[in-house]
Amino acid sequence: MERRKIILDCDPGHDDAIAILLAGKSKYIELLGITVVAGNQTLEKTTKNALNVCQYLELDVPVYAGCGQPMIRDKQVISEEIHGESGLDGPAFEILERKAEEKHAVLYLIETLMNSDGDITLVPTGPLTNIAMAMRLEPKIVSKIKEIVLMGGTYQLGNVTPAAEFNILADGDAAHVVFTSGCPIVMVGLDVTRKVLCYPSIIERMEKSNSKASQLFGELMRFFNKSQKEVFGWEGGPLHDPVTVAYLIDSSVLKTKEMYTEIDIRGTQSYGRTNCDFFGNSGKKANSKVAVDIDTEKFWDIIEEGIKEYCAE
């Protein structure tokens, strides 16, 4: 079976960490590299978090630090109220031995894509700064990208403002570059990720496999649920980012609809909104497949299977 080659571009982040976990040992995926961006916390912290997760799970995947600031906005938006001071509060990791690669993530993306046969899928689960910067620095990468399967946006309600979702709001201009690039895009937004709520019963189910991975899952999700409850009042936090990886493992987990999606980069209250033309009113050609529904049972089965991969050793 051919494994799908991916680069995970993330800002760990509790749900990003689970995306790494899921991709790390999947028999359907070849995780070529992890590129890191500022988002849930500063770049220094998100990079450290990615390295900690890889070290803990013994994943031999190179990690590259990327952009620490949005393309144009002055201020980096972070999500400390959800992910804590470290960006990955909850688990206590051992002393970090692993180091990020010397190369900047944007240069790694460009070189890897340019040397590829056009068979690499990008999986961004944070602000799109690294991907957009790579596209601007070397526009030729656009035709080399097989597909971009990203977590971000919503055609319904936002989670940072009424209009916008965190990853897109954090760097709307970068999202604009990506959505106007012509690359095939699958947008996995809050519309579906809000349906996979990680209730305590789910944590208990995942912990049954009793491995390092299941332990990490439990420690991360208990903290995540606590802050999701404080901020949004939910008993279980939405496990946003791993939905992208789950889709690459089994695309039938999502139902998608082709839409023209435009990012609001001019608005004030609505900055970062993904205006998805659900009904096709604009008459413009679709530039994205937007996730409109998710098979939640299948999703949790995929997560469970991903965790069990770590038991085989």
Q: Which two tokens stand for residue 14?
A: 């509790």
Of 27-66, which residues contact ligand BDR (CB under 6 A)?
A: 40
Name which position in 84, 124, 126, 236 contacts Ca ion (CB under 5 A): 126
**Is 41 an interacting residue with respect to Ca ion (CB under 5 A)?**
no
**Is 274 an interacting residue with respect to ligand BDR (CB under 6 A)?**
no
Residue 154: C-alpha distances to residues 13, 64, 151, 165, 268 (Å): 19, 28, 10, 6, 17
Q: DSSP secondary-structure letter at 64?
A: E
Name which position in 4, 6, 7, 13 contacts Ca ion (CB under 5 A): 13
Angle at alpha carbon of residue 30, lines to 27 and 31, rounded to 5°: 125
Q: How many CB atoms lie within 10 A of CB 114?
A: 11
Give 88 or 110: the residue with its C-beta nearer to ligand BDR.
Answer: 88
91/94 Cα distance (integer angstroms): 10
Name which position in 7, 8, 13, 141 contacts ligand BDR (CB under 6 A): 13
The dihedral formed by the CA atoms of 92, 96, 29 and 10, expressed in degrees to the nearest 10 = 80
Q: Which does 191 bind (CB under 5 to 8 A by kind): Ca ion, ligand BDR, none?
A: none
Q: Which stretch binds ligand BDR (CB under 6 A): 51-59, 138-146, 162-170, 264-272?
A: 162-170
Whether the CB-CB separation of 285 and 276 falls below 8 Å is answered with no
Question: What character string, x for contact with ligand BDR (CB under 6 A) and - otherwise, covers 239-258?
Answer: -xx-----------------
Told to judge if 15 belongs to the known catalytic residues of this protein, a careful annotator would answer: no
Report helix, strand or coil for 261: strand
Give 13 or 236: the residue with its C-beta nearer to Ca ion.
Answer: 13
**Is 171 an interacting residue with respect to Ca ion (CB under 5 A)?**
no
Listed in sequence order, the residues at least 6 apart from 68 whose beta carbon sits closer than 8 Å to its beta carbon are 38, 42, 43, 44, 76
Among candidate residues 9, 11, 89, 191, the one labeled active-site is 11
Give 15 or 277: the residue with its C-beta nearer to Ca ion.
Answer: 15
Which residues of the chain form contacts with Ca ion (CB under 5 A)? 11, 13, 16, 125-126, 241
Which residues of the chain form contacts with ligand BDR (CB under 6 A)? 13, 15-16, 40, 79, 82, 125-126, 151, 159, 165-167, 240-241
Enzyme catalytic residues: 11
